[in-house]
Structure 1
Amino acid sequence: MDHKQELQNPMASADADMPLYGSLGMTFMEFPYAPSVKQTDADVVVSGVPFDMATSGRSGARFGPQGIRSASANLIWEGARWPWDFALDDHLKVADVGNVNFKHGEPQTLVDNLQRHILQIMESGKKSLTFGGDHFITLPILRSVAKIHGPVCLVHVDAHTDTYSGGSKYDHGTFLHHAVEEGLVDDKHSVQIGIRTNYSKDAHGFEVLDAAWVGDHGPHEVLKHIKEKVGDRPVYVTFDIDGLDPAFAPGTGTPVSGGLTMDTALKVIRGLQGLNLVGMDVVEVAPAYDHADITSLAGATLALDFLYVLAHNKIHHS
């Protein structure tokens, strides 16, 4: 077997093949590569989902996992990442299992394989860190997360609510509408952050901290609202990179001006310490629209700080 074949992820099933751009060039943060969830004792499993067939605007998020992993090379030199006072590897085991396979042009194979994959992670007692791909991928993820943890509280950073009832069966703007209808998310104990596009406020079950409110009140107040809402319930974090202002994340399919700064976003992620976190995804990174890899770097940095939060929680609850 040659080197390229060794890096191909074997998460294929009878109804799926290796998608375009599905090979694994490097792992996130150079964490150990694991051929499957069952073949690692890691606390957290990193997965990529190179899927953007549910986009309504500019495609290209299929390159997100590749871009985020590549940009993470800029972060690996720091033993104990600022502002943390410990080295991640000393307290948290992380493995990258590569990309979820699906049959190109057949979205349902992505749904089936991603649900199967995330369920395997959840059943093993591990936590998931997933790189999209467009935001549709969060719906299959939540289906599997909810099977183990029940309806989860969502901390959702985005320019859009993604609760729109229209659209097709596979649509990155409707995933949360379906998640609520299917009982996967506890909307009364969830928070949406950074919203700055139109949505129907009538019967909107989520608390919305829109981008202007966040800019006026800052991350401390955002975290206060999050912690009051979720309490000790299971929490899943979904971070659409377009929640950031395009100045910090131009490489995305639906950029909207007036978003969060990177400083605010990082302070919110770091402030999730103590919550019952079960997983996170970073979606909608589209490197083709990027400049100097700053959007991919933003996604990698947010993901890395989430891992530090998990390590902090493990240290203080062990």
Structure 2
Amino acid sequence: MTTIADKADYSLYSNAFGYLRQPLNFKPLESDADVVVIGLPFDMATTGRSGGRMGPGAIRNASVNLAWEEKRWPWPFRLGDNIKVVDAGDLVYNCGDSADFTQRVEDFATAVVKSGKTLLSFGGDHFVTLPLLRAHQKVHGKMALLHFDAHTDTYSQGSKYDHGTMFYHAPIEGLVDPDHSVQVGIRTEYEPQGHGYQVIDAAHANDLTAEQIVDQIRARVGDMPLYVTFDIDCLDPAFAPGTGTPVMGGLTSDKALKIIRGLKGMNIIGMDVVEVAPAYDNSEITALAAATLGLEMLHVWADSQGKITK
């Protein structure tokens, strides 16, 4: 008699707990994983609509739509045959304590990166990137930043815990080098004078090809260690309505994926996708966009690290 446990082909949503159906491992440092996925359920730094703390769960849930493919189009290899990914679940912290959350993110990420593994993080609001950068800097030194967003997040007037101030503080702390960093998709107010980062604003990005944008990124970043952070509101609300601060005039999901694919061969050392707020989503399209961007980043990372053998 055939039982459910004997069946190799489970229904799409059966027992789908980890990102891309990857195994949950709450002790990732003891695993042989190449990449560790962590959810950061935090939205106490948001200035718009709250709800980003539910983002990691929504992204995992939507990712089952991607897990069935043997090979992710248009990549010519099967990711699971070449790298091992584990999902460490969501970071646990004292609820309502931003300081505790910030320190726990930094401590966890530091341990993962020092172990030689790479971290793919899902937020949560964009503040989570600041403690992640602090952790990566301890191992990789000052980094280049590739930042996809509708906002520069370089505002100096915010509070200590604010999802609009991370990239104001990051250069001051010596975490990133703005002279080798690029912000793509910006379409809100900022002060260009003394900004430091190269900005490819959304209006310009929408007029350029993905290849032209990638060329500018490569010229700016060079061979520096590169941290990639993707705020889902970089995408136009037509492609990602489920976010706290939607802004019209953003990138298409197609162009974003093409830009990510174009990073092949660059020295990517860390990645995150943030600001998914599923309460404002429709038919999981924002969560699916975030899950897909994460998967694309994993393929680029695997290819760039020379992990592809078949």
TM bucket by the smaller chain?
over 0.9
Q: TM-score, normalised by structure 1?
A: 0.91
Does 1:92 pair with 2:83? Answer: yes
Does 1:295 pair with 2:290? Answer: no
Give aligned-pair identity as a percent.
55
Q: In structure 1, the residue corresponding to 2:227 is in which secondary structure?
A: strand
Quote how far apart the aligned CAs of 1:312 are: 1.3
Q: Which residue of structure 2 aligns with residue 219 of structure 1?
A: 210
Quote how far apart the aligned CAs of 1:316 are: 6.6
Does 1:250 pair with 2:250? Answer: no
Taking the aligned partners of 2:305 and 2:272, their CA distance within structure 1 comes to 20
Q: Which residue of structure 1 aligns with residue 10 of structure 2?
A: none
Aligned with 2:128 (options 137, 151, 156): 137
Does 1:71 pair with 2:59? Answer: no
Does 1:204 pair with 2:195? Answer: yes
Taking the aligned partners of 2:137 and 2:191, their CA distance within structure 1 comes to 26
Taking the aligned partners of 1:290 and 1:281, their CA distance within structure 2 comes to 19
Quote how far apart the aligned CAs of 1:32 are: 1.7
Taking the aligned partners of 1:102 and 1:121, their CA distance within structure 2 comes to 17
Quote how far apart the aligned CAs of 1:48 are: 0.3
Taking the aligned partners of 1:317 and 1:124, their CA distance within structure 2 comes to 21
Which segments of 5 or more consecutive residues in structure 2 lack a partner in the other structure?
1-14
Q: In structure 1, the residue corresponding to 2:299 is in which secondary structure?
A: helix
Q: In structure 2, the residue corresponding to 1:298 is in which secondary structure?
A: helix
Quote how far apart the aligned CAs of 1:35 are: 1.7
Aligned with 2:145 (options 139, 143, 154): 154
Q: In structure 2, the residue corresponding to 1:75 is in which secondary structure?
A: helix
Q: Which residue of structure 1 aligns with residue 254 of structure 2?
A: 263
Aligned with 1:169 (options 160, 166, 169): 160
Q: Which residue of structure 1 aligns with residue 273 of structure 2?
A: 282
Written as runs of structure 1 = structure 2, the 5 A alignment for 1:10-89 is 26-89=17-80
Quote how far apart the aligned CAs of 1:314 are: 3.0
Q: Which residue of structure 2 aligns with residue 228 of structure 1?
A: 219
Letter in 2 for 1:77: W
Q: In structure 2, the residue corresponding to 1:227 is in which secondary structure?
A: helix
Q: Which residue of structure 2 aligns with residue 305 of structure 1?
A: 296
Q: In structure 2, the residue corresponding to 1:98 is in which secondary structure?
A: strand
Q: In structure 2, the residue corresponding to 1:280 is in which secondary structure?
A: strand
Taking the aligned partners of 1:46 and 1:291, their CA distance within structure 2 comes to 25
Letter in 1 for 2:136: V
Taking the aligned partners of 1:162 and 1:267, their CA distance within structure 2 comes to 24
Taking the aligned partners of 1:317 and 1:49, their CA distance within structure 2 comes to 29
Q: Which residue of structure 2 aligns with residue 193 of structure 1?
A: 184
Q: In structure 1, the residue corresponding to 2:229 is in which secondary structure?
A: strand
8 Å contact from structure 2 (residues 16, 64) kept in 1: no
Runs of 4+ more than 4 Å apart: none
Letter in 1 for 2:17: M
Taking the aligned partners of 1:197 and 1:278, their CA distance within structure 2 comes to 28
